[in-house]
Amino acid sequence: MIEVKNADFCIEQIANSGQCFRINKLGPADIWQVVAFGKVLRVHRIDRNTSVFHCSPEEFQSIWVDYFDLRRDYGMIKNLILMADDPFLRHAIAYGAGLRILHQDLWEVIVSFIISQRNSIPRIKSTIEKLCAPYAYAFPSPHVLTAYGEKDFCNLGLGYRARYLMDMVESVKSGTFDVEYLKTLSAGEAIAYLKNFNGIGEKVANCIALYGLHRLESFPVDTWISRIIRNQYGGNFNIKNLSPYAGIVQQYMFFYQRSLRREKNDS
């Protein structure tokens, strides 16, 4: 077991941030199961600043330190963002103080965000669980998915997205889409490259760049972010002022706005 004391880390907030789909709470206790890179981790949140990772020191250092971006000083990043003296961002950062951008497996992110289009988080999670079920904790590789047909993907609940995923798998198989090449690109180059493929538009390309390539300057704009920009900033929000951490800012904004709406609906 590894004890992590970090006021800028909250497994619950990360799990509910919309960037990953295989972190789930286990029962009533504040214990969370994380599945990534074929490994299973349990994280027990003790209090606001303390979490216990149930893994060996070797696994913690080789996988989970990078996965949770624990070497990065998010306190410093928050202070830089707060220098803009933006009231909405100040509230968003305070609300989502434990958020971090994960270092996820790139192929898993590509598949997940192709599935995510016009889809709810519970449905995305359900689909990914079904997709992964035959492979224990491993995420199916492009080679594995070549055995699937479009009907198989439809049976998992993908709907019209089945065609997008089928096209992506076929593009990887033919060499038209090169995952390793994508890793070498800058955020702008990666977004332009991704948009050449069926089912990947501006928003999904930015999500893949941010969550799969960890290009922190990427700024995905979905309906939540569009609503914030319209209602809080009169339609004028200059993300260039937030570089190189625009993606982290987006995560605070998204989490805050979505959580406020959920709390309002629950009241």
Q: Which residues contact 89 (CB under 8 A, 6 or more apart)?
A: 81, 82, 249, 252, 253
In a domain, 110, yes or no: yes
pLDDT at 267 (0 to 100): 41
Contact call for residues 206 and 191 (beta carbons, < 8 A): yes
In a domain, 57, yes or no: yes
Q: Are residues 146 and 192 in the same domain?
A: yes
Q: Per residue of the chain (267 residues), what is the pLDDT tens digit? A: 899 999 999 999 999 999 999 999 997 789 999 999 999 999 999 998 999 999 999 999 999 999 999 999 999 999 988 888 889 999 999 999 999 999 999 999 999 999 988 888 888 999 999 999 899 889 999 999 999 988 999 988 888 999 999 999 999 999 999 999 999 999 999 999 999 999 899 999 999 999 999 999 999 999 899 999 999 999 888 887 777 999 999 999 999 998 877 655 554
In a domain, 205, yes or no: yes
pLDDT at 216 (0 to 100): 95
Q: Which residues contact 108 (CB under 8 A, 6 or more apart)?
A: 36, 139, 212
Q: Are residues 133 and 201 in the same domain?
A: yes
Range of the domain at 31: 2-71
Q: Are residues 116 and 66 in the same domain?
A: no
The residue assigned the tokens 């990914």 is 128
| CA 37/CA 241 separation, integer angstroms | 34
pLDDT at 265 (0 to 100): 56
Q: Are residues 67 and 133 in the same domain?
A: no
In a domain, 235, yes or no: no
Contact call for residues 51 and 9 (beta carbons, < 8 A): yes
Contact call for residues 237 and 89 (beta carbons, < 8 A): no
Q: Are residues 200 and 124 in the same domain?
A: yes
Pairing label, strands 2-5, 50-54? antiparallel
In a domain, 134, yes or no: yes
C-alpha count within 13 angstroms, C-beta hemisphere, residue 185: 22
In a domain, 153, yes or no: yes
Instruction: Report how many domains make up the chain.
Output: 2
pLDDT at 13 (0 to 100): 95
Question: Three-state SS for 62?
Answer: helix
Nearest to 96 by CA among 255, 246, 257: 255
Q: Are residues 129 and 196 in the same domain?
A: yes
Asked which of 49, 71, 93 is the last residue of a domain, the reply is 71
In a domain, 65, yes or no: yes
Q: Are residues 124 and 42 in the same domain?
A: no
Asked which of 172, 194, 212 is the last residue of a domain, the reply is 212
- What CATH number did the domain enclosing 31 receive? 3.30.310.260
Residue 67 carries which side chain, given as an amino acid letter?
A: Y
Q: Are residues 58 and 114 in the same domain?
A: no
- What CATH number did the domain enclosing 199 receive? 1.10.340.30
pTM over 0.85: yes
pLDDT at 3 (0 to 100): 95
Asked which of 212, 235, 261 is the last residue of a domain, the reply is 212
In a domain, 20, yes or no: yes
Q: Are residues 64 and 129 in the same domain?
A: no
Q: Are residues 111 and 208 in the same domain?
A: yes
